[in-house]
Amino acid sequence: MTADALAPGDRVQLIDPKGRRHLIVLEPGRQFHTHQGIIEHDHLIGQPEGCVVQSTRGTAYLAFRPTLADFVLAMPRGAAVVYPKDAAMIIGYADVFPGAVVLEAGAGSGALTCWLLRAAGDRGKVISVERRPDFAMIARRNVTRFFGALPPTWRLVVGDLTEVTAAAPIRRVDRIVLDLLEPWACVPAVARLLVPGGLLCSYVATTTQLSRIVETLRSHGEFAEPVAFETLLRTWHVDGLAVRPDHRMIGHTGFLVLARRVADGVIPPPRRRRPAHGAHRLPESQPPGGEDG
């Protein structure tokens, strides 16, 4: 058996001719049952990654070790997971780099935690704060399952973020990721922890949450102008001359809001963009139609 061959204990993703995927953990003597027949684990053990295995009914399956994206979509969950398309944008646009110290609020099922740990690397550190003990337990299991052991660069804290940051000796951090129902309530508590030039990224699901976190960051006074966006993922059907978008796509999953911390004592210059008419409330003395009614 070569060093990179599939071995007992490896997670393997089996892909059938229709693109359906099944995630299994290899164990000697075990079988995987599908509607297309049975696959013997022993037929995979010792084979190179990317091999083909036949079921008892003659269906061919490709076998690969799963990517982190594959693992996230198949892992047990308590809270909803951050989808790979959003996790990739968080890692990229929040600029999570090797050696970064990252504070994550809302560990959920541990999906984003895995991405953050891998991006921060062996020299970095990820501090995850989760309010619910049951979610924290699921996150711990999933992170341990993916990495094979509890990463030494990870610290999981159960509690309310504002209380944890006030009581625990958390030093200043390079990046902050908020995956909370009310992230705006935590901005004053976490802003003091973020280094000048550091990035805060908030992941929210609704437009009302989006509006409130953006306005909170603007009014806080220690952040540059926030940037808000969402990512839509659409695959394409490509077969000879038949090239068209697939009928189904992963549309809205959440909004990302990014803002950079300015230096201590610095007041960011005010926005010069002209607001849309009616974007802000009119004084109570002024009728909705303006001065002329």
Residues annotated within the binding site for S-adenosyl-L-methionine are: 109-112, 130, 160, 179
CA distance 220 to 1: 59
CA distance 152 to 56: 43
CA distance 260 to 191: 10
Can you say which residues are annotated as belonging to the binding site? 109-112, 130, 160, 179
Q: Which residue has the tokens 């390079």?
A: 174
CA distance 75 to 128: 19
CA distance 134 to 90: 25
**Helix (H/G/I), strand (E/B), else coil: 293:** coil
Beta strands in the chain (DSSP E): 11-15, 21-25, 31-34, 37-40, 51-54, 60-64, 101-105, 125-130, 154-158, 173-178, 194-204, 227-230, 236-239, 242-245, 255-260
